[in-house]
C-alpha cells in the first residue's frame, strides 16, 4: 500500500512544473499582445487564456482531492482489516 510520503514530488519537479507553466502562460500572453488583429479579437483570446488557466487549476485541485479521498478510504479499510486480524483467535473453539 502506498503512503503519502511515497507520493511526494521533489523540489526539482515542482520547480520544473512551475517554470514551464510560467513560460507557457507568458508566451501565450505575449503572442496575444503582438498578434496583428483588432483589439476585440485580442480580448477574446485573452479571456480564453484566462478561462483555460483557471480551469486548469480547478481540474488539478479536483484530481488531488480525489486522490486524497481514495487514500483516506484505503487507510480506513486497512485499519478495519488490521482490527479483525488482531481480534481473531484461530485456537478459540467455535462451538
C-alpha cell at 92: 478459540
Element (H, E) at 16: helix 11-33
Residue 45, number of CB atoms within 10 A of its CB: 17
Q: Is 5 a member of any domain?
A: no
Q: Is 4 a member of any domain?
A: no
Q: What pLDDT, in 10s, does the model give residues 2-53?
A: 554 456 788 898 899 899 999 999 999 999 999 999 999 999 999 999 999 9
Give the range of the structural domain holding residue 38, as residue numbers without chain letter: 10-87
Q: What is the pTM of this model?
A: 0.60
Q: What pLDDT, in 10s, does the model give residues 73-86?
A: 788 888 888 888 88
Count the domains in the chain.
1
Q: Is 94 a member of any domain?
A: no
Amino acid at each position: 500500500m502506498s503512503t503519502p510520503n511515497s507520493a511526494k514530488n521533489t523540489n526539482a519537479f515542482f520547480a520544473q512544473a512551475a517554470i514551464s507553466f510560467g513560460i507557457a502562460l507568458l508566451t501565450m500572453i505575449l503572442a496575444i499582445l503582438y498578434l496583428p488583429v483588432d483589439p476585440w479579437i485580442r480580448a477574446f483570446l485573452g479571456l480564453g487564456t484566462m478561462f483555460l488557466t483557471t480551469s486548469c487549476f480547478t481540474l488539478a485541485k479536483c484530481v488531488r482531492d480525489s486522490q486524497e479521498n481514495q487514500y483516506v478510504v484505503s487507510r480506513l479499510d486497512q485499519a478495519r482489516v488490521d482490527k479483525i486480524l488482531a481480534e481473531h483467535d484461530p485456537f478459540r473453539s467455535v462451538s
